[in-house]
């Protein structure tokens, strides 16, 4: 199974086609696991969720893989992954806040308080829109659990976000997959999709870096005597 996941990550199109030809239900299972891991464990933010959904849609358009089976399975994987990630975050968050160690109380607890304020203001939007940004979508449910964000609301917006994210990329691939240019340049499209969806993440990281640098080294105004 791990070998199949490896081949899908680095030879996406060929690997999924080979899986479908061998056993379509095994292909569903492997795709389910990849989406679950990307959304369910913070150590897997590098998994290509958007590109994988698009690729699966392309292949469903010209193979025995059914789009009517594929989409619900992957929506369920995304929902389950978010819930699992939330529970891990909740477990860690409770341990941090109950800890009596000075370093944890000094550095980590204030960070949790600030994060909790963010989720109070923007939690609903971040759960939905965060789905469309690699790396970010892996950490949003984890931190929601860490700060004990209202679980019924989290569950509701996780379902909404998953029900938008999965069909958006999968159906785009499904309906564009038969285009000759897409077939002939699939690897370019796949890589381009990953790069485009990563741009907002790097832009936000760059802005944060510049802001922190300015805060640390504020400009000095010199006046002539």
Task: Identify the pLDDT of residue 109.
Answer: 58
211 pLDDT above the threshold of 60? no
Domain ranges within the chain, ordered by starting residue: 2-207
Task: Identify the pLDDT of residue 43.
Answer: 86
179 pLDDT above the threshold of 60? yes
Task: Identify the pLDDT of residue 100.
Answer: 63
Q: What is the mean pLDDT of residues 68-81?
A: 96
pTM: 0.77
Contact 159, 79 (CB under 8 A): yes
DSSP string, 39-51: HH-TT-TTS-HHH
């Amino acid at each position: 199974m791990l070998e199949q996941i490896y081949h899908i990550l680095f030879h996406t199109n060929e690997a999924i086609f080979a899986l479908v030809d061998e056993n379509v239900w095994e292909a569903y299972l492997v795709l389910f696991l990849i989406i679950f891991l990307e959304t369910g464990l913070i150590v897997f933010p590098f998994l290509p969720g958007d590109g994988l959904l698009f690729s699966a849609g392309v292949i469903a358009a010209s193979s025995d893989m059914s789009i009517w089976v594929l989409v619900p399975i992957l929506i369920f994987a995304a929902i389950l992954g978010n819930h699992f990630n939330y529970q891990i975050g909740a477990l860690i968050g409770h341990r941090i806040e109950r800890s009596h160690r000075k370093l944890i109380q000094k550095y980590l607890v204030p960070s949790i308080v600030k994060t909790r304020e963010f989720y109070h203001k923007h939690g609903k939007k971040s759960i939905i829109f965060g789905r469309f940004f690699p790396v970010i979508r892996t950490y949003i449910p984890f931190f929601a659990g860490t700060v004990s964000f209202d679980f019924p609301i989290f569950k509701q917006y996780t379902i909404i976000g998953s029900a938008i994210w999965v069909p958006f990329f999968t159906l785009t691939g499904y309906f564009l997959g038969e285009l000759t240019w897409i077939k002939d340049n699939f690897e370019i499209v796949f890589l381009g999709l990953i790069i485009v969806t990563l741009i907002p993440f790097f832009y936000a990281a760059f802005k944060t870096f510049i802001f922190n640098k300015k805060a640390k080294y504020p400009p000095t105004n010199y006046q002539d005597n």
